[in-house]
Amino acid sequence: MPTRPLVRHLSVSLGGDDVQPSAPVVHWVRLHVQETISAAERLAHSLHPWTSFAVVPLFALANAGVPLTRASLVAAVGSPVTLGVVAGLVVGKLVGISGAAWLALRLRIGALPEGVTGRQLVAVAAVAGIGFTVALFIAGLAYPTTPALQNQARVGILAGSMLAAALGALLLHCSLPRPATPGGVLGREGR
């Protein structure tokens, strides 16, 4: 796979601002612009959504090692182990990370990066509950001789991770700055 672009430098002038380029010119420019990026980089960019949203979650689910049968899910629903794991991932991560960051800010031993708000920090703290790997490892260490409790913990990890992802996405969406209307004044909808 080539890691260097075929076209090193590209300089295109289409005339003036109001010039309508012809289809062959647009095709030539598009082809040459595409070739300023290496084939490896284009491939990585095109595969990123598939790997991030399909392959990695399926890999995590397959390696969780929990049989998602009706019996295992019913056993996990009312289990204190499952509920504790879900609470730890969703509430514990959110409160722990947000609280530690708040304390660091108050003690002036840390500062938020420029442009980052406290709401965005809380949203990212919620996203931290998605972690699978360490949680699965700890579940195996916590219940080495009790497969039923390990399965309940694993179901809690899956449920907690999905809930943390949904909560984090919602909080991130709500923490984004609202776009200004043309003229720089927020309309009634943007307030």
Question: Half-sphere exposure of residue 156, counting CA atoms within 13 Å on the CB side?
Answer: 26
Tally of structural domains, the chain: 1
Q: Classify residue 92: in a domain, yes or no.
A: yes
- Whether the pTM exceeds 0.75: the reply is no
Please give the residue range of the domain that contains residue 102.
72-175
Q: Classify residue 27: in a domain, yes or no.
A: no
Q: Classify residue 127: in a domain, yes or no.
A: yes
Give the number of other CB atoms < 10 A from CB of residue 85.
27
Q: Classify residue 82: in a domain, yes or no.
A: yes
Q: Classify residue 109: in a domain, yes or no.
A: yes
- Name the helix (H) or strand (E) containing 117: none
Q: Classify residue 170: in a domain, yes or no.
A: yes
Q: Classify residue 139: in a domain, yes or no.
A: yes
State the pLDDT at residue 190.
47
Question: Which residues in the chain show pLDDT less than 70?
Answer: 1-2, 5-19, 64, 180-191
Q: Classify residue 151: in a domain, yes or no.
A: yes
| pLDDT tens digit sequence for 63-107 | 767 777 888 888 889 899 999 999 999 999 999 999 999 999 999
Give the number of other CB atoms < 10 A from CB of residue 143.
17
State the pLDDT at residue 191.
44
Alpha helices in the chain (DSSP H): 23-34, 39-50, 56-64, 70-77, 80-87, 93-106, 118-127, 133-142, 147-175
DSSP class of residue 178? P
